[in-house]
Amino acid sequence: MGLLFAAGAQAQDVRIGVLNDRSGIYADLSGEGSVVAARMAVEDFDAEAKGINVTITSADHQNKPDVAATLARQWFDQDNVDLIVDVPTSSAALAVAEITREKNKVFINSGAGTTELTGAQCSPNTVHWTYDTWALANGTGGAMVETGADTWFFLTADYAFGHALESDTRALVEGAGGQVLGQVRHPFPGQDFSSFLLQAQSSGAQVIGLANAGGDTVNAIKQAAEFGITQAGQSLAGLLIFITDVHALGLEAAQGLVLTESFYWDLNDGTREWSDRFAERMSGQKPTMVHAGVYSGVLHYLKAIEATGDDSDGAAVVAAMKEMPTSDPLFGEGEIRADGRKLHDMYLFRVKAPGDSEGPWDYYELVSTIPAASAFKPMEGGGCALVE
Amino acid sequence: MFELLGIPPQALFGQLLLGLINGSFYAILSLGLAVIFGLLNIINFAHGAQYMMGAFLAWMLLHYLGIGYWWALILVPVIVGAFGVVIERLMLSRLYKLDHLYGLLLTFGIALIIQGLFRNAYGISGMPYSIPSQLAGGQNLGFMFLPNYRAWVVVFSLVVCLGTWFMIEKTRLGAYLRAATENPTLVGAFGINVPRMITLTYGFGVALAALAGVLAAPVYSVNPNMGADLIIVVFAVVVIGGMGSILGAIITGFGLGLVEGLTRVFYPEASSVVIFVIMAIVLLVKPAGLFGRA
Amino acid sequence: MTDKTLDTATPRGGMPPLHRAIFVGLLVVFAVAPFVLYPVFLMKILCFALFACAFNLLLGYGGLLSFGHAAYFGGASYVSAHAAKVWGLTPELSVLCGTAAAALLGLVIGSFAIRRQGIYFAMITLAFAQMVFFFSLQAPFTGGEDGIQAIPRRALFGVFNISSDINFYYFVLAVVFAGLLLIYRIIHSPFGQVLKAIRESEPRAISLGYRVNSYKLALFVLSAALAGLAGATKALVFQLASLTDVHWSMSGEVVLMALLGGMNTIFGPIAGAAVVVTMQNYFASFGAWVTVLQGVIFVLGVLLFRQGIVGVIARWLKRPL
């Protein structure tokens, strides 16, 4: 019977490449966890029974665009990879998007934040799944002003990414009626932020926006606690920070920090059930939104493959993905816009005080939900050529 | 109230004080480099990695054995210093007859190995390490809030730096050391075990790096790359001070901390390059460095 | 450096037959290789081989260890990328722009650096390279962390279409071999002989009336320009210029290549580059173990094999390579 079925349905070979950081600064928030998430998606979809043979490979791009580009090229040219997922670090993501378009394959990005992926450098082969910097700025900037915190000071990493993060957030803060009292540009990467924090403190702003990432953000938060800045009543707002960063900081230093994410393991029964299964395979680590995005993206890709029955034309697969509404237990119902932007709710969280936490990974309390319709940058004026 | 270039003087004092605090890290690290260079003629490229080891070891002592900050301050330099002694005996000692550049290449390789191993074992996100309870909190100085821990860092590193300077420049042991760099054969003829002295000197320099690491653990993120970029700044500090000059390394370390602090106020974008710019100028005007002998 | 195994005695009027045979052999191997191996990977080896040889020109023949060669390699890659993408220049002109920029950079930095020797020289080049890195991070045209991406491969001389990897490969092969032959020529020219004299004994060279600093600066600029040639070509190969190429770890990598292959040999850096690039390529999935392995090679290289791979072969053959 099984034999008959296999003969009846034409077997499809699908190769998925998980390309991310396995040794560097984003290894904890993407890394092996993304491979596990992709594998779980394949299992939950029950691909084999549906006649789709999925092979998953993975590699370390070291957060370097040239390494990412080389690996992506090699995967497409030599190893017949059909889909690349994850790819944190904006520069690496943009490089992979470019190659995916050239080779007409599919790229589902979960780990990177740049809005360029669905803006000026958008592509018919790319879907940007989990979050982007505009959505984070919108959640943290816009939603915070609405809660009454309307004077801001920015601590900005002095390079293109930091500037973009700052200017996006600034526009949203001012648009919501808030006021920006000043900003300071710190060298990247920075080690000591005390001097900049002191300048932020003397500005008297209610919110200090951290327009930086990774180790810089962690150091800035650590030192803000040391200099008593949060205790004195100013709030810190992380514009790009993940639950793994909070885990590394410890609640003592991170408490009170406000941040935006598109996923938290403890949101509802669906996320809890999946996250428990994930944690079992990852020796207790809860998933980040990047892991969740990889799961959800791969699941939707497989649905599109099942519907079209053909994985050879990447642009056609992405077009089919855009036609079908998305649905999974992690992000709920959603859709993919013409420019490749996946839409879902975003959430504004505040980090709990150590006393309110019930144990490891119990870190966030929900402040507000930003509905999908207003969570992402409007398509008009985004600069994407796919949008007429 | 008068203002200086648009900055109120209180804020300026605050920034200068912070500069001094950062300068104390530069001072201890460049002191270690200068000691090693002065006596072994080796540029210790592994200095940043050894600083990182110091911070990590403090974390490991706390995490695995429950040994706190104060004991770490003593134990960590001893352990990492011993590690340095092993490296010197096994590897560096074979290179003294060759060009000094081989020492640089060897320690560069050692730095890569140490950093790679720590990255494999602990990832890169960093480990939390809290300020010891005795030094938590801070003083409100009126013009700024000074965390007690930072004040401790400045005082402690000044004591360490001056103590080292005194030992090398003013004691009999220091005199032997200095003589051994000038003429090892002659000093050896006086019955002093020169190779052992050199080994211990390297161990001491490495211990200084580890000590800076322990001091840094509560305030900076403890991660495998923490020393990788810092080391280049410290190199520049040593070059400006004059390679091998002990006092030069100390004064330049603190001084450049101040200069960097001021840059952070007036032109923050340039604060990471200002040290290299100063280095270029110093080399143009005084190639041997501010305190170096040509 | 102290190991001076190189004997540059050359018959007048050309290359010794052994060297000629090696060059021809390499050319044949590389001409056929893309039909067997992945062309992008081969182009990477070629670019790094040129980079390592350019670096070694300074180290092996000038006795000057630069710890900041990433500045010229990466700086040129940005300029060539910008020229190809924004100014719309053809590949050969883009590469020339990059090379010229690297030469200029080499002139500025070199005029500071050659005032000092040995370790001081290494530190100064490192510090300047750091300044170039910060500049690349912040200058508007470099695209910060994103780098310059999607660089077009335009038609060669505006006529020949070389956009496919295999066609572009032969362009790269031609550029790199031209660079390598130029390096060979420099070493064996009268200019190269004077440099050798300076390396052996600077005071003696001065007393013979040579303006030592001018020679050193010229060598520095040549080395920077050729490193730039490699970087400019690499940018077009990967259609990408990024911060990786200006970071100081790149300066460390090129030292590793020269050390591993043999610092006092002509062909050593090529072998070193091939080994290091292959290692990075095939061990990419092992993450930080690549760093550890590089460190181990450094340590073993310094302690046990100071002549490097080709140096050992040369000793075995009793011929300079």
Whether residue A276 has pLDDT greater than 90:
yes
Asked if the Cβ–Cβ distance from A198 to B269 is below 8 Å, we say: no
CB-nearest partner of C294 from B104, B112, B239 = B112
Q: How far is CA B148 from the centre of its chain?
A: 21
B–C: how many Cβ contacts below 8 A? 122
- What are the chain B neighbours of A245 within 8 Å (beta carbons)? 125
Burial of A334 (0-12, 13-18, 19+ CB in 10 A): middle
Asked if the Cβ–Cβ distance from C127 to B113 is below 8 Å, we say: no
Say how far apart CA A30 and CA A48 lie, in whole Å. Answer: 26
Question: Partners of A326 in the beta sheet?
Answer: A334
Whether residue A274 has pLDDT greater than 80:
yes
Chain C residue with the nearest C-alpha to that of A90: C146
CB contacts under 8 A, B 130-159 vs A, are 130-131, 138, 144-145, 147, 149-150
Residue B7: predicted pLDDT? 63
pLDDT in tens, chain C (321 residues): 444 444 444 445 567 889 999 999 999 999 999 988 888 889 999 999 999 999 999 998 888 999 899 999 999 999 999 999 999 889 999 999 999 999 999 999 999 888 887 777 888 898 899 889 988 887 888 877 778 888 888 888 877 888 788 889 999 999 999 999 999 999 999 998 898 888 888 888 888 888 888 999 999 999 999 999 999 999 999 888 988 899 888 998 899 899 889 988 999 999 999 999 988 877 766 767 888 888 998 899 889 888 888 998 998 888 888
The model's confidence at residue A81, banded by pLDDT at 50, 70 and 90, is very high
Asked if the C-beta of C287 comes within 8 angstroms of chain A's C-beta atoms, the answer is yes
Residue B230: predicted pLDDT? 86
- What is the residue type of A51? G
Six token digits for residue A177: 């009626």
What is the per-residue DSSP string for B21-73?
Answer: HHHHHHHHHHHHHHHHHHHH----TTHHHHHHHHHHHHHHIIIII---HHHHH
B35 closest CA partner among B180, B173, B208: B208
Helix, strand and coil in chain C, % to nearest 5: 75, 0, 25
Whether residue A159 has pLDDT greater than 80:
no
Six token digits for residue B294: 């040509």
CB-nearest partner of B120 from C112, C115, C289 = C289
Residue B2: predicted pLDDT? 47
Residue B43: predicted pLDDT? 85
Asked if the Cβ–Cβ distance from C127 to B279 is below 8 Å, we say: yes
CB C258 within 8 A of CB C268: yes
Interaxial angle between packed helices B47-60 and B230-241, expressed in degrees from 0 to 180 and rounded to the nearest 10: 130
Residue C121: predicted pLDDT? 87
The minimum CA-CA distance between A166 and chain B, rounded to whole Å, is 15
Whether residue A266 has pLDDT greater than 90:
yes
What percent of chain A is predicted at pLDDT more than 90?
52
CB-nearest partner of B264 from A27, A196, A253 = A196
DSSP structure class, residue A341: B
Peptide bond into A189 cis (omega under 30): yes
Question: Where are chain B's structural domains?
Answer: 9-115+145-285
CATH architecture of A2-131+268-343: 3-Layer(aba) Sandwich (3.40)
Q: Give the B-side interface with C, CB within 8 Å.
A: 37, 43, 91, 94-95, 98-102, 104-106, 108-117, 119-120, 232, 235-236, 238-239, 243, 269, 272-273, 276-277, 279-280, 283-284, 287
Question: Where are chain A's structural domains?
Answer: 2-131+268-343, 134-265+346-375
Interface test with B, best of A191, A212, A223 (most B CBs within 10 A): A191
Six token digits for residue A62: 């070291």
Asked if the Cβ–Cβ distance from B235 to C115 is below 8 Å, we say: no
CB-nearest partner of A187 from B19, B128, B271 = B271
Q: Which residue has the higher pLDDT, A5 or C200?
A: C200
CB-nearest partner of C295 from B99, B116, B277 = B116
Q: What ipTM is given for this predicted complex?
A: 0.83
Burial of B281 (0-12, 13-18, 19+ CB in 10 A): exposed
Instruction: List, for residues B168-201, the tens digit of each pLDDT value.
Output: 888 988 888 888 877 888 888 888 888 888 899 9
Q: Domain spanning A134-265+346-375: which superfamily?
A: Response regulator (3.40.50.2300)
Residue C285: predicted pLDDT? 66
B27 closest CA partner among B149, B157, B216: B157
For chain A, list the contacting chains (3+ Cβ pairs, <8 Å): B, C
Residue B1: predicted pLDDT? 39
Asked if the Cβ–Cβ distance from C149 to A65 is below 8 Å, we say: yes
Whether residue B22 has pLDDT greater than 50:
yes
Residue C78: predicted pLDDT? 95
Query: Which fold would CATH assign to domain B9-115+145-285?
Result: ABC transporter involved in vitamin B12 uptake, BtuC (1.10.3470)
Question: Partners of A210 in the beta sheet?
Answer: A155, A238
Say how far apart CA C31 and CA C51 lie, in whole Å. Answer: 20
Asked if the Cβ–Cβ distance from C1 to B120 is below 8 Å, we say: no
CB-nearest partner of C122 from B104, B236, B283 = B104
Residue C277 in any domain: the answer is no
Q: Give the A-side interface with C, CB within 8 Å.
A: 22-23, 27, 58-60, 62, 64-67, 69-71, 73-74, 77-78, 89-91, 94-95, 98, 114, 116, 121, 158-161, 163, 187-188
Asked if the Cβ–Cβ distance from C2 to B243 is below 8 Å, we say: no
Six token digits for residue C267: 């062909």
Residue A350: predicted pLDDT? 92
Six token digits for residue A9: 């349905």
Residue A89 neighbours by CB under 8 Å, 6+ apart: A21, A26, A61, A63, A65, A68, A111, A112, C145
Residue B294: predicted pLDDT? 54
Residue C165 in any domain: the answer is yes
Instruction: List, for residues B35-85, the tens digit of each pLDDT value.
Output: 898 888 888 989 999 999 999 999 999 999 999 999 999 999 999 999 999
CB A49 within 8 A of CB A27: no
Same fold, A2-131+268-343 and A134-265+346-375: yes
Asked if the Cβ–Cβ distance from A25 to B125 is below 8 Å, we say: yes
Kindly list the strands in the beta sheet with A258-261, ordered across the sheet, starting from the edge strand earlier in the chain: A179-186, A151-157, A207-211, A235-238, A258-261, A346-351, A364-370
CB B247 within 8 A of CB B9: no
Strand (E) positions, chain C? 148-149, 240-241
Q: What total number of domains does chain C contain? A: 1
Say how far apart CA C13 and CA B209 lie, in whole Å. Answer: 56
Asked if the Cβ–Cβ distance from C288 to B108 is below 8 Å, we say: no
Q: Which residue in the block uniquely carries the two structure tokens 């719309």?
A: C88
Whether residue A5 has pLDDT greater than 50:
no
Asked if the Cβ–Cβ distance from C115 to B283 is below 8 Å, we say: yes
Whether residue A288 has pLDDT greater than 80:
yes
Residue C288: predicted pLDDT? 72
- What are the chain A neighbours of C239 within 8 Å (beta carbons)? 69, 98
A–B: how many Cβ contacts below 8 A? 95
Question: Of A194-208, B100-114, C69-83, which has the strongest mean pLDDT?
Answer: C69-83
The pTM (predicted TM-score) of the whole model is 0.85
CB-nearest partner of C291 from B112, B273, B284 = B112
Residue C4: predicted pLDDT? 42
Q: Residue A322's CB: how many other CB atoms inside 10 A?
A: 20
Whether residue A281 has pLDDT greater than 90:
yes
CB-nearest partner of B261 from A23, A187, A195 = A195
Asked if the Cβ–Cβ distance from B131 to A226 is below 8 Å, we say: yes
Instruction: List, for residues B116-128, the tens digit of each pLDDT value.
Output: 999 888 877 777 7
Instruction: List, for residues A104-137, the tens digit of each pLDDT value.
Output: 999 999 999 888 899 988 999 999 999 998 999 9
Instruction: List, for residues B199-239, the tens digit of each pLDDT value.
Output: 999 999 999 999 999 999 988 878 888 888 788 889 889 88
Residue A388: predicted pLDDT? 67
What percent of chain B is predicted at pLDDT more than 90?
40
Residue numbers of the domain that contains C236: 16-248
Residue C287: predicted pLDDT? 65
Q: Is C209 left (phi over 0), alpha (psi -120 to 50) or beta?
A: left
- What are the chain B neighbours of C305 within 8 Å (beta carbons)? none
